[in-house]
Amino acid sequence: MDTSALVKERLGVPIIIGLGGALSLVHVWHAVGEEEDLLTFALGIGGPLLLTGGVLLGGVWLWNRDTDGRHALRIGAWSWLGAALVAGGAALLILYQQQYGVTMDEQLFVVIDGASGGAFTGFIVGVYDVRQRQAEARATELTRQLTILNRVLRHDIRTNANIIQGNANLLTSDAVDTDEKADAIKRQATDLVELGEQARDIERVLIDGESDRDERDLSSLVETCCEQVRQDHPSAEVDVSLPPTLTVAAHPLLDSAVANVVENAVEHNDKPTPRVEIESAVVSRDGTDFVDLRIADNGPGIDEAEVEVLKRGYETDLEHTSGLGLWLVSWIVARSGGEVRFDENDPEGSVVTLRLRRGTDRVAHASESNAAGAAA
């Protein structure tokens, strides 16, 4: 991220807190230095102080929510714009009255009171504006995802159904190997069941929001997925090199994403002994810690055209993926606040890297406490 983008990413919350804090300090100073009756105090000092305090607390609220920097900057811009417009309007009103010989008391504080009301109003408008934009972006993304889901389901169900029907028709002939055709039907039926499970998971991913994240022990999750793959594919070698405990904050269906990547690495491998190596690294980006889960294989690799479609985020009639698996992985990781990267493995195969936000040690401590309790 370049310097300009980094400044924009981090500027939003400070300018909101700075605006609210500065105006609040002015009102506190005004309150200390003046003796006013209750009504004047409430209207001229107390009310504006509550408004600026609201802006200040709003900035803290955005910071605690880990709001996207671009959204916070937009809200901050609305707050400053509101403060400038209302303060400017108050100043023009004062100048207008002076032309007719009317002089308003404490003109500076009248302008500051206007800025306070404008800042609070601008903050509310900014929050509403950001939420509207998020809703529009989410609707556009959901439409694209549903289009992809519809295309893959129609294509794969039609293909598998045709294969099942063709083999079923051949079973009535005495000239064919019935066992071979029955196995073909069984394979296609299994594929249809897996497709249905993927569609169910995708439905859950599309319904859930980004806020639906759990702290997960990635090491335990990966080992569970790999154990199942080893059972299903005895000829495969799946090596896991992860620390005993590695906590990430991710969507509840993270295990489905990991399982899809590992299973694809084995099932689409044309080697007599498919090999999968899984390792992790902790990286820091813009002050946030992430965990890179690296899943490498010795297979034929992922088609570059599919990778480009996944990076683009939507399909066309001529450019699309071969199934739902990689889309499911991409969407689950995106809902987890992370990203997926596809690279070539050296000397052969592919590397899929899932970058996930690093969690706290709460899961690790809970596991240790449970183990200690069981031992006692």
pLDDT in tens, 314-334: 776 656 666 777 888 888 898
pLDDT in tens, 271-304: 899 999 999 999 988 778 999 999 999 988 888 8
Q: Does residue 204 sit within a domain?
A: no
Expressed as residue numbers, the domain containing 266 is 212-376
Q: Which amino acid is at 110?
A: V
Mean pLDDT of the region 353-369: 66
Who has greater pLDDT, 174 or 113?
113
Where among 83, 117, 139 does a domain terminate? 139
Assess whether pLDDT exceeds 90 at residue 353.
yes
Q: Which of 31-40, 93-102, 118-127, 329-338 has the highest mean pLDDT?
A: 118-127
Q: Does residue 292 sit within a domain?
A: yes
Assess whether pLDDT exceeds 50 at residue 371.
no
Q: Which of 187, 186, 51, 73 has its CA nearest to residue 119? A: 51
Is 64 exposed, middle or buried, given 0-12, 13-18 or 19+ CB atoms closer than 10 A? exposed
Three-state SS at 68: coil
Q: Exposed e or buried b for every residue in 109-140, given b needs 16+ CB within 10 A? A: bbbbbbbbbbbbbbbbebbebbeeeeeeeeee
Q: Does residue 338 sit within a domain?
A: yes
Total domains in the fold of the chain: 2
Query: pLDDT value at position 361?
Result: 57
Three-state SS at 217: strand
Q: Does residue 168 sit within a domain?
A: no
Who has greater pLDDT, 113 or 6?
113
pLDDT in tens, 158-212: 666 777 777 777 676 656 667 777 777 777 777 677 767 767 777 777 766 555 6
Which residue intervals of the chain are DSSP H helices? 3-33, 38-41, 47-64, 69-99, 107-170, 178-207, 218-232, 254-267, 304-312, 325-335, 362-375
Query: pLDDT value at position 7?
Result: 56
Assess whether pLDDT exceeds 90 at residue 262.
yes
User: What is the percent of the chain with per-residue pLDDT over 90, rounded to a whole number?
Assistant: 36
Query: pLDDT value at position 219?
Result: 94
Average pLDDT, the chain: 81
Where among 88, 117, 139 does a domain terminate? 139
Query: pLDDT value at position 312?
Result: 81
- Same domain, yes or no: 223 and 355: yes
Q: Does residue 202 sit within a domain?
A: no
Q: Does residue 274 sit within a domain?
A: yes
What span, in angstroms and rounded, lies between the C-alpha atoms of 376 and 373? 5
- Same domain, yes or no: 134 and 221: no
Q: Does residue 163 sit within a domain?
A: no
